[in-house]
Structure 1
């Protein structure tokens, strides 16, 4: 039996523990959190993440507890749509439900230790850093030069029990801020972002909500209605952190997955998805190849793709949170909307 130590029992860590061959590996998961969180935002599951959930064996259960996201619009601050995005078969699952299902998929043979691991244990075997953007594994093995980097942007998100209004679904881009509304299990999921001096840690959620109500007071009525119904107990507030690009996700007998390897801004909604894909990719390679070859193949397959997504997500954030360039952005998107409308009319008349 080969030894694998997974540091972090979040999405990536649990998915990896669930997908590793229990007849080949003795797996230990270290997680500082004694129980699952009670509050979590809704995560969009893109097709690659759905395939990862199927590989772990929980896709059907995930669909059962999740609404289909359907279509949504990119809108201006007043709520007027610029473009509509068809979500197809995308569904949204709450982080709490996803963690619960992943927990249920982990074999009983996996050892669990509830502890904040500050130093890597002796006899750890292969060490997997699945411990998020502030990864202790990344810092210890790769060095302080690749520590997480804080952005100027605040991420505020939550749920309300009121059902989502289909006509309000989408993302609203204002001057230096954005607000999103989507379906969640049993209600409405929402999120907001803007540049803020709150934090970078220990942010008071009630204070962040008060700032949001002031910030979005002149925006679309749907936004104001959501914020009126929001309570701190069902909300989360944190500054957005990212990680610098790495030349490899492997160093010696250590490997990084998920946000520990490639924490990105949330603007493409791909962080959790790529964490799941990291986990099943690494597991399948370790299950079938010698360790050294498996690790090299994992870094080769996942590094360029995830870093490209990280760059694209950062670019999307700059566009969505445009401040001085906001008038130009809005004019260009409005022109694109009118051009598309004329094209659709012309195509229809030619039938």
Structure 2
């Protein structure tokens, strides 16, 4: 049997471990955290990610966790809707539930080791770097110049344990900031982003939450209502990091997947989706082809696509968090919303 060491037990690492052929591979997952998280954002599962979840065998379980409210709107800071979003066919899941389901899908034959890995050593036939944006695998083998890139933006998110108001669901774009409200099984999820000098490490969640309340105090009442119920215990705060462009996701007997390969800003909601697709693609190739061929094919099929999405997400982030161009952006979105509404009326939809 070939030995595979997966460094990182997040979305990408667990999905890969769940899909590898246990009759062919001796798999070990290394994860520094001893348990699963208790707070996390809601992740929209695009069709490609849904197909990946079906391959893992948990799509129906994810659907059962998907919130009943699946529509919302893109809004201005005051809450007036620009464009309605119909998500009737969408599948969404909290990161907490997704990790729980992926964790349960991993075969018992996979060894779990709770340990931080800072240096890649020889031994396994294949090492998979699934250790996120601050990947030690990438830094060790691809070089220090491939270290994570700090953006000027802060991401704060949390859960309020009261049912979401369906009329408030959506993203609110202000001047240099954005706020989101969405449904989860346990209540209401919220998230906020804006430029900040906080961090990048040692961020105090309680004081950051107070800064968020101050920052959004002049925004719409829906935002203020959610923030009134937010608590540090059910909130997270972190700076947003990305990865640089990589010429290859493969180096010798080591391969990168997920955020270790292509961490992106969250503005398109594609990071988790592409991590899942990475994992099932790599597993399918390793299960059916010689290792060298499988790695070459994975790199060709995934690198250009994920780097393109990474760049598109960054561009969307600049639009969503626009400052000097915010008035023009708002006018264009308002016009687009009116055109969409007239088209819907004209077609009887």
TM-score under structure 1 length normalisation = 0.97
Displacement after TM superposition at 1:97 (Å): 1.4
**Separation of aligned partners in 2, 1:92 and 1:188:** 13
The answer for the alignment partner of 1:189 in structure 2 is: 189
Whether 1:304 and 2:304 are equivalent positions in the alignment is yes
**Separation of aligned partners in 1, 2:117 and 2:346:** 63
Aligned residues of 1:44 and 1:269 also touching (Cα < 8 A): yes
The answer for the alignment partner of 2:273 in structure 1 is: 273
Alignment map for 1:153-232 (pairs within 5 Å): 153-232=153-232
Aligned residues of 1:30 and 1:117 also touching (Cα < 8 A): yes
Alignment map for 1:114-133 (pairs within 5 Å): 114-133=114-133
The answer for the alignment partner of 2:40 in structure 1 is: 40
Displacement after TM superposition at 1:26 (Å): 0.6
Q: Which moved more, 1:339-348 or 1:289-298?
A: 339-348
Structure 2 unaligned regions, length at least 5: none
Aligned residues of 1:68 and 1:92 also touching (Cα < 8 A): no
Matched position secondary structure for 1:72 = strand
Structure 1 unaligned regions, length at least 5: none
Whether 1:65 and 2:61 are equivalent positions in the alignment is no
The answer for the alignment partner of 1:314 in structure 2 is: 314
The answer for the alignment partner of 1:256 in structure 2 is: 256
The answer for the alignment partner of 1:235 in structure 2 is: 235
Displacement after TM superposition at 1:184 (Å): 0.6
Matched position secondary structure for 1:67 = coil
Aligned residues of 2:178 and 2:193 also touching (Cα < 8 A): yes
Aligned residues of 1:68 and 1:90 also touching (Cα < 8 A): no
Displacement after TM superposition at 1:204 (Å): 0.8
**Separation of aligned partners in 1, 2:97 and 2:341:** 40
What do the CA deviations read for 1:278-307 (whole angstroms, capped 9, x no partner)? Answer: 000000000000001100110111111111
**Separation of aligned partners in 2, 1:102 and 1:346:** 45
What do the CA deviations read for 1:56-100 (whole angstroms, capped 9, x no partner)? Answer: 111111222221452211100011111112223222212121111
Matched position secondary structure for 1:210 = helix
| Aligned length in residues | 349
Whether 1:139 and 2:139 are equivalent positions in the alignment is yes
The answer for the alignment partner of 1:101 in structure 2 is: 101
Displacement after TM superposition at 1:347 (Å): 4.7
Matched position secondary structure for 1:188 = strand
Greater than 6 Å deviation, 4+ residue runs: none
**Separation of aligned partners in 1, 2:259 and 2:337:** 35
**Separation of aligned partners in 1, 2:88 and 2:64:** 17
Aligned residues of 2:240 and 2:265 also touching (Cα < 8 A): yes
Q: Which moved more, 1:71-80 or 1:61-70?
A: 61-70
The answer for the alignment partner of 2:14 in structure 1 is: 14
Q: Which moved more, 1:37-46 or 1:184-193?
A: 37-46
**Separation of aligned partners in 2, 1:296 and 1:107:** 27
Whether 1:327 and 2:327 are equivalent positions in the alignment is yes
Quickly say closer, same or farther: Cα 1:292–1:332, change in 2 above 3 A.
same
Aligned residues of 2:69 and 2:166 also touching (Cα < 8 A): no
Matched position secondary structure for 1:54 = helix
**Separation of aligned partners in 2, 1:212 and 1:275:** 29
**Separation of aligned partners in 2, 1:198 and 1:141:** 30
Aligned residues of 2:83 and 2:340 also touching (Cα < 8 A): no
